[in-house]
Structure 1
């Protein structure tokens, strides 16, 4: 994760079932559903003006940390999350 995003706070918007990260007055988000003790990670979206700046990667990593600290697991359904896992297979430990 880029250093400029490390101090940003991940918000769990339970009502809308999405994790949110505010960057440059815009909101990136990752939609989810919960089944038992697993988050189904469905869709990642980053505002067009933030694309290519590492925002999606920071969002996904913060979500993984949140899930791990919450003692949950996840099922990756989102194409971006799947591609992130290929580059960072250490997070596969949360998919079992």
Structure 2
């Protein structure tokens, strides 16, 4: 399953879609040219416990590293995952 990225210049999301239905999504908003706020993560019941949320966060981290953007995780899931995963913390603001 591919993780897709959608961005309109201010808001965006990383998501997994199947049959045109979003089954997992991590939503963010830009808070300046080099700062991103992760607002919300949602995973469909059929994906619970499969690590899909973590995969979305990993895709987001790969993107912000490439773009040299710092992250502020307001989303409780993202915040908890950053706390557990030292390997991702370099992107935190």
Same fold (TM over 0.5): yes
Q: Displacement, 1:57?
A: 0.6
Pair 1:49-2:33 in alignment: no
Q: Tell me, what secondary structure is at the counterpart of 1:30?
A: strand
Q: Name the counterpart of 1:80.
A: 77
Q: Tell me, what secondary structure is at the counterpart of 2:68?
A: coil
Q: Name the counterpart of 2:30.
A: 34
Pair 1:71-2:68 in alignment: yes
Q: Which runs of 5+ in 2 are unaligned?
A: none
Q: Name the counterpart of 2:91.
A: 94
Moved more, 82-91 or 14-23: 14-23
Q: Which runs of 5+ in 1 are unaligned?
A: none
Compute the TM-score of the two structures, normalised by the length of structure 1.
Answer: 0.79
Alpha-carbon RMSD: 2.0
**Structure with more strand by fraction:** 2
Q: 1:12 to 1:23 in 2, by over 3 A?
A: closer
Q: Name the counterpart of 2:56.
A: 59
Moved more, 82-91 or 69-78: 82-91
